[in-house]
């Protein structure tokens, strides 16, 4: 089982910055992608950013140009640099890891516990 440990959430003023990190424990399965999702009250969980082990990245349109995702494959750690934060970025941010189980030909998803990001003056 993969364990994801998140850090970096907190309270920040509009226009400020935060950097989230998520470290995945060792697993027998290869982690092929990691990403960040967020969920605001009354909203569905949405993809914020995702990066594959090969370096392919996609962002939600709402964060393009403001957020940057990066990954250290050797450390199985993913980061989310969040700049120019807006109140609408307020949400619980969840780290996600996608692992591939070749023996059973399946993709497995793992989730962090979530970290609160609040953007408020």
pLDDT tens string 83-112: 999 999 999 999 999 998 888 998 899 999
**pLDDT, tens digit, for every residue of 28-71?**
678 889 999 999 999 999 999 999 988 999 999 999 999 999 99
Reported as half-sphere exposure (CB side, CA atoms, 13 A), residue 65 has a value of 3
Q: Where are the alpha helices (DSSP H) in the chain?
A: none
Structure tokens at 71: 């990954």
What pLDDT is stored for residue 59 in this prediction? 98
79 versus 73: the higher-pLDDT residue is 79
- Contact between 50 and 69 under an 8 Å Cβ cutoff? The reply is yes
| Structure-token pair, residue 60 | 């939600």
């Amino acid at each position: 089982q993969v364990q994801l440990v998140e850090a970096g959430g907190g309270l920040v003023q509009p226009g400020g910055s935060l950097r989230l990190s998520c470290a995945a424990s060792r697993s027998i399965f290869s982690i092929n992608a990691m990403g960040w999702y967020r969920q605001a009250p009354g909203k569905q969980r949405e993809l914020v950013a995702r990066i594959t082990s090969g370096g392919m990245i996609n962002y939600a349109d709402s964060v393009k140009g403001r957020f940057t995702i990066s990954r250290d494959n050797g450390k199985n750690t993913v980061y989310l640099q969040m700049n120019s934060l807006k109140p609408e970025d307020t949400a619980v941010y969840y780290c996600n890891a996608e692992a591939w189980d070749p023996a059973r030909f399946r993709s497995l998803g793992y989730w962090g516990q979530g970290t609160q990001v609040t953007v408020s003056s």
